[in-house]
Amino acid sequence: MPKPDAPLDLPTRADAGEPDPGVIIDPSQDGGRAQDPAPASRLPDAAVTPLVHFYRAEIGRGDVWRQRMDATTNWAIGTTAALVSVAFSRPDIPHVIIPLGGLIVLLLLCIEGRRYRFYDVWRQRTRLIEAHFIVPQLRDQRPTIPAWREHLAADLLRPAYKLSFMRATGSRLRRNYIWIFLLLLLCWIARIAAIVSEAGDVKVVFAGAHISARDLYGGIGYGPVPGWAMLGLTGAFYGGLGLWIWWSGRSPDPDAMVYARAG
């Protein structure tokens, strides 16, 4: 008889020909059977429903901030249209109204950059769920980043912006506002050409009237501000916009973890 304290010789899963759940099976050595996901990377069934409702809520938040961003863009377009209309409405309207309008558009750009930072918080959360929960479910595979739930939980416990103000504003400038600023520049040049023409009307410019660069330079100045100062300020402004766009496009991408390719 065995001693009372002797260990019992119980059959193991290996003796019964069953795989050990803690061992990852190579499909090539298991008759081609699909590899089961590791328990740590599988979302519990009880957490699926709360995650789905959370995803819907984050989509709603993102839509709200997206609408606010679109509203700011519409304000910038409306402001530009109003300024250009006023600038060309009468011959005695000074051309300086258009550069001043550019400062208003710059203010709206800063407001939209701030709103884009808020929108990016909700956008990255939804992209995290889409890339590492929904896509693996559709492809029947493991998440690209198994610790995506830890990233999401940490972001919920300590919410933080993913984009700096300069990069967020630069992104909106590169995609939308640069075209508004270029339109203002062209309208400003056309307004100066109309002022230096004999009739003072923009129709003369588009009719093919000959206006030299010296004439344009002579009409840039306004009041106590000489032409070279106005030209220098304009060049510095648009040069700064160009550097802003270049820098924001070369900054590190904060979406590297969110947009990691699956599979």
The 10s digit of each residue's pLDDT in 218-242 is: 677 777 888 788 888 999 999 999 9
Q: Is the dihedral of CA 90, 93, 98, 100 positive or negative?
A: negative
140: alpha, beta or left, given left = phi > 0 and alpha = psi -120 to 50? left
Average pLDDT of the residues in 191-208:
62
Residue 209 lies in a domain: yes
How much of the chain exceeds pLDDT 90, in percent? 37
The tokens for 108 are 């709206």
- Max Cα separation, the chain? 123
Give the lowest-confidence range in 48-57, 166-175, 215-224, 250-259. 250-259
Residue 212 to residues 54, 208, 262, Cα–Cα distance (Å): 63, 12, 59
Average pLDDT over all residues of the chain = 77
Contact call for residues 13 and 19 (beta carbons, < 8 A): yes
- Comparing CA positions, the residue from 126, 154, 118 lying closest to residue 52 is 126
pLDDT of residue 94: 86
The tokens for 137 are 């479910």
Residue 57 lies in a domain: yes
- Comparing CA positions, the residue from 26, 21, 43, 28 lying closest to residue 142 is 43
Contact call for residues 129 and 188 (beta carbons, < 8 A): no
- Comparing CA positions, the residue from 40, 36, 42 lying closest to residue 19 is 36
Sole residue written with tokens 């766009």: 245
CA atoms within 13 A on the CB side of 83: 26
Give the lowest-confidence range in 49-63, 66-80, 126-140. 126-140
Contact call for residues 192 and 95 (beta carbons, < 8 A): yes
State which residues form the domain around 215.
Answer: 45-249
Say if residue 201's pLDDT is above 60. no
pLDDT of residue 149: 83
Residue 1 lies in a domain: no
Give the lowest-confidence range in 70-84, 187-201, 234-248. 187-201
Q: Per the structure, how many domains does the chain have?
A: 1
Which of residues 161 and 1 earns the better pLDDT score? Answer: 161
pLDDT of residue 79: 93
- Comparing CA positions, the residue from 226, 239, 240 lying closest to residue 96 is 226
Average pLDDT of the residues in 21-37:
42
Residue 32 lies in a domain: no
pLDDT grade for 263, boundaries at 50, 70 and 90? very low
Which of residues 26 and 44 earns the better pLDDT score? Answer: 44
Contact call for residues 181 and 244 (beta carbons, < 8 A): no
Total Cβ atoms within 10 A of residue 25: 15
Torsion of CA 30, 34, 35, 41, to 10 degrees: -170
Say if residue 29's pLDDT is above 50. no
pLDDT of residue 13: 42
Residue 260 lies in a domain: no
pTM: predicted TM-score of the whole model, two decimal places: 0.72
Sole residue written with tokens 């009468």: 90
Residue 30 lies in a domain: no
pLDDT grade for 90, boundaries at 50, 70 and 90? confident
Residue 241 lies in a domain: yes
